[in-house]
Amino acid sequence: MHKIFLPIFGLINTLFASELCIFNEDGQLLQLVANSTEITYMLEEIGVRFEQWSTDVKFESSATESDVLLAYKDDIFRLQQEEGFQSVDVLRMLPDNPQKDTLRAKFLREHTHNEPEIRFFVEGSGLFYLHVQDEIYRVQCEQGDLISVPAEAPHWFDMGTEPRFTAIRFFTRPDGWVAQYTE
């Protein structure tokens, strides 16, 4: 059902600003919002947290997970204290990643988690799709965006065919990302 949205937006890049599009299940665009304050408000109405953080650190291509975590340690600590996260990691995806097709296929399948899915985009962009009743919310997340999808909310993520992003992921469970597919 949700695959009708993918061909148009399959290639993601950083030319776009944060954006929210709401579609009906037939793929008809119902609403388009590009103002970050309005995006925050509209997503809050469905239980999704959306914030924009400062991203003034630029990373070399050789940057490690430790480099990224160290650069954002204060924000990470604040969010851990606020939400009780037990672990964090960094997912860095570039077009030459040999696992990109496997990971894209895994993330594109509609799923839920028994904990919130929190991502802070340090670099690059990606599309989160949320299936809310009979509507699909597509959130274009860009560098500096933090999104928190509530536990048990059906969703999927499109990193595009040529992914280019670095995201800090927060987990309440020590075992990290565990999906329950909705098919």
Q: For residue 179, what pLDDT is reported? A: 62
* 119-151 pLDDT per residue, tens: 999 999 999 999 999 999 999 999 999 999 998
Name residue 2's amino acid.
H
In degrees, rounded to 5, the angle at the alpha carbon of residue 143 between the alpha carbons of residues 49 and 157 is 60
Domains of the chain with CATH codes: 18-181 (2.60.120.10)
Tokens of 177: 């990302």
Q: How far is Cα 116 from Cα 105, in angstroms, rounded to an integer?
A: 21
* 52-80 pLDDT per residue, tens: 999 988 888 888 999 999 999 999 999 99
* 70-108 pLDDT per residue, tens: 999 999 999 999 888 888 999 999 899 999 999 999 899
pTM value?
A: 0.86
> Looking at residues 32-51, what average pLDDT do you find?
96
What's the maximum distance between 2 C-alpha atoms anywhere in the chain?
A: 44
Tokens of 38: 């309005």
Q: State how far the alpha carbon of 58 is from the alpha carbons of 7, 18, 97, 126, 144, in Å.
A: 31, 19, 20, 18, 12
